[in-house]
Amino acid sequence: MARKAAIIGGGVIGGGWAARFLLNGWDVAVFDPDPQAERKIAEVLANARAALPALSDLPMPAEGRLSFAKTIAQAVDGADYIQESVSERLDLKHRVFAEVQQASHGVPIGSSTSGFKPSELQQGAANPATIFVAHPFNPVYLLPLAEVVPSPKSDPQIIETAKEILREIGMFPLHVRKEIDAHIADRFLEAVWREALWLVKDGIATTEEIDEAIRMGFGLRWGQMGLFETYRVAGGEAGMKHFMAQFGPCLQWPWTKLTDVPEFTDDLVDLIAGQSDAQSGHHSIRELERIRDGNLVGFLRVLKERDWGAGRVLLDHDRRRREAFHEAPASGAPLKLAEMQVLPGWIDYNGHMTENRYLFAASETSDAFLRLIGAGMDYVAGGHSYYSAETHILHLGEARLGDRLTGTLQVLHADDKRAHVFIRILRGDEVVATVEQMQLHVDMGAGRTCPAAPAVLARLGPIAEAHKALPRPDSAGRFVGQRKG
């Protein structure tokens, strides 16, 4: 049975939370008195459906059920998690928490606030222990960061439960150890924003020139290495101490106006808005969102391929879902070991899945099998592995963009040094490709075959025995170019 999330406030952030939960299989109930809330959330969802699946190498789970509640009590009824995303007015948030806690007891209540500390949110609450800050970043359905900020009154177990829920939907809960105004990330953003306003006001740069300085330079470094790691590299072989010694004195120079705020006049607002309109006013907001999402997917996929930064969060999310997919090996049927979907980068000039991705799909299935029998990366770290000595792929159909694929594996034969396996890549019930492999167990240090570890053979043996009863695939043992029939 799907779990339920209640979203109180359906604006840009609330809609992003709703999309994040829905696309990860949760039922979602939204409360927002805005008569346009359903339309706005539908538009956010459309963007999320186009972007979020491209970050995963597995098909998304079945989408949860979206409903719109007429009252807060109706929205939170039966909810396992509650996220408040109403306007940044403390009195409004207090009223919302009071209504929520009249109808729901002991459930984590996260607030999307960027401006209030959790102790301020908890004032006058019936149960302050369940209220905390869970501050995301837009678009919530793509960016993994959520700053989780408790106060001394927060229940530590509630916080741990909330963090695990956030991990389950592919987010990175950053536990902020002490509450502070604007938390962590927005303190940086506010400082940069303040300096940018001065640069525009003083005629040093336009809004477009400032954006170019960020996206053509340090923004690219920050996106994959952050602040301190970037400066560590800047220090050269001598590292951070050298960097601090070289650039630390600059902190005393009057380079910035971070402690001085420009007067927020109508003239300044008009100047900023006019330059911004000239910069990107030819795009609608929805167009800019889609451009942003496509760029973010590209950046995040690259980080994922390198197991770095935010990409590591995506890999961990895939791993969690992949491990939950395995079927019991004693089923007497080919093992269902992998789920995938055809992503834009998998498509060739003919409009269907390119050849190397069929091999990738087979590799995902084979790797899952090796993990299942205890020959995964920990085993490889010990100096032993199964190597593919022969591979024969047979193309039987065409997979296209968005298709959901399943990888199954049948053991044709196994002994202490070999595993002869037959992999099917299916789209529904249709086999689009088969891959036959002979895998040899190798001592990597010695560079030669050797018997697998007893623990591995103890898992492999029962699977091979169960699969003896299965019909041998018609194409097993085919040579390249052999005619059918």
As given in the structure block, the two tokens for residue 10 are 């359906």
Residue 328 DSSP label:
P
pLDDT digit string (tens) for 195-241? 999 999 999 999 999 999 998 888 888 888 888 888 788 778 877 87
As given in the structure block, the two tokens for residue 289 are 């969102």
Name the more confident of 96 and 477.
Answer: 96
Whole-model pTM? 0.77
Same domain, 76 and 109: yes
Domain ranges, residue 129: 4-175
Amino acid at 388: S
CB-based contact 160:67 (threshold 8 Å): no
Same domain, 76 and 124: yes
pLDDT score at 224? 85
Same domain, 170 and 195: no
Q: Write down the H helix ranges in 202-309.
A: 207-213, 219-225, 228-234, 239-247, 266-280, 285-305
Distance CA 384, CA 377 (A): 10
Instruction: Return the CATH number at 233.
Output: 1.10.1040.10
The total domain count for the chain is: 3
pLDDT digit string (tens) for 432-465? 999 999 999 999 999 999 999 999 999 999 999 9
Instruction: Write down the mean pLDDT value for the chain.
Output: 90
In the predicted model, is pLDDT for residue 331 greater than 80?
no
Q: Residue 263's pLDDT band (boundaries 50, 70, 90)?
A: confident
Same domain, 334 and 266: no
Residue-wise DSSP of 15-68: HHHHHHHHHTT-EEEEE---TTHHHHHHHHHHHHHHHGGGG-SSPPPPP--EEE
Q: Residue 328's pLDDT band (boundaries 50, 70, 90)?
A: very low
pLDDT score at 289? 86
Confirm whether 478 is domain-assigned: no
* 3-state SS, one letter per residue, for 55-88: HCCCCCCCCCCEEECCCHHHHHCCCCEEEECCCC
CB-based contact 168:158 (threshold 8 Å): no
Q: Residue 254's pLDDT band (boundaries 50, 70, 90)?
A: low
As given in the structure block, the two tokens for residue 372 are 């299942």
Same domain, 83 and 108: yes
Same domain, 385 and 243: no
Name the more confident of 292 and 483.
Answer: 292
Rounded to a whole number, what is the distance in angstroms from the first to the last CA of the chain? 47
CB-based contact 129:150 (threshold 8 Å): no
Q: Which helix (H) or strand (E) holds 259?
A: none
CB atoms within 10 A of CB 210: 19
Residue written as token pair 């007015």: 89
